[in-house]
Amino acid sequence: MLREERHGLIQKQNLTPAELDAIKQLVDTCERFEQLHMRLSWEMVQNRPATQVLDYLYYDHGNLVGYLALDNWGMAEKELVGMVHPDYRCRGIFRTLLDAARVESLQLGVVRLILVCERISQSGQAFVKAVGASYDFAEHEMVLREFQPRPDFDERLVFRLAGEQDLDMIVTVLAGSFGDSEVSVRHRVTRLLQDPTRSYYLATLGGGSVGCGEPVGCLRLDTWDDTVGIYGFGVLPAYQGRGYGRQMLQEAIRAIQAEGQRIIMLDVDVTNTRAYALYVSCGFRIKATYDYYNLPTAL
């Protein structure tokens, strides 16, 4: 019996190895066509929750020509990334994928969809205008090219791996640094502390033992096969402008490099010129710039 040839829209909860290979080929084709760096997390795509439809594939007689992915991370809002093969554009394929994702999002209770589009993608920016998406913010993805450390200036600052016993201090730092509610921060950090691929680090003053010292800042390291990302990098307002952020960043880079040769990357809001200057001075350079757009969930 001949295998039925796929054609049109397919919605999936979990992707098969063959589907993942086809997506990788499509990503490679689209990236080479416009010299892009698609913001698609392979770790996320390969580890989907079994209860949600988050992947949308479009086939032309067995060939994957369109793909859209929603993120795993939350329910109130979801980021999405999508692409269409260059030979199949302007045929309504991406709009079909997006409409299907909107229907599913409404059923899941999602109230906000965020489209991620690389700034230099002409096709992506044209689609954003066509669907009336509203600009929200933009980030530079930066990669460490050549580490340029400076001498640590405050030996009282202790930078250490954090654990569940440090939850209160991590919450205090993140809520105080970013202005988020402690309830939402606590929920997010509690979940991430259970993930073996993610590690929180704390910087404290006045004590070196676990649980001692005044919290100054924290950050999180997310580890993939060949890459480590630096996220949730915050310093409490009372300690900002004293060089502690640089000291923490340098210690994080040293910790990563001590474990082997991996790509080190981070994101920074394009308007955060202070943080951007710090990262550049430490040896980070821009790899790509991504714009984030709000999409209405209703069709």
**Mean pLDDT per 10-residue run, the chain (299 residues)?**
77 93 97 95 86 94 96 83 96 95 88 94 93 95 96 88 96 94 93 93 76 86 94 96 95 95 96 96 97 83
Same fold, 8-138 and 147-282: yes
- Assess contact for 34 and 83: CB atoms under 8 A: no
The pLDDT, as a whole number, for residue 212 is 60
The CATH topology of domain 8-138 is: Aminopeptidase (3.40.630)
Superfamily assignment of 147-282 in CATH?
Answer: Gcn5-related N-acetyltransferase (GNAT) (3.40.630.30)
The pLDDT, as a whole number, for residue 210 is 47
Query: Rounded to 5 degrees, what are φ and ψ at 14?
Result: -135, 135
Q: Which helix (H) or strand (E) holds 34?
A: helix 17-34
The pLDDT, as a whole number, for residue 207 is 58
Query: Exposure string (b/e) for 202-228, b if CB count within 10 Å is 16 or more?
Result: bbbeeeeeeeebebbbbbbbbbeeeeb
The pLDDT, as a whole number, for residue 1 is 42
- Assess contact for 267 and 140: CB atoms under 8 A: yes
Q: Does the model's pTM come out above 0.75?
A: yes
The pLDDT, as a whole number, for residue 52 is 85
Domain boundaries, the chain: 8-138, 147-282
54 CB-side CA count, 13 A? 26
Of 37, 31, 40, whose CA–CA distance to 224 is shortest? 40
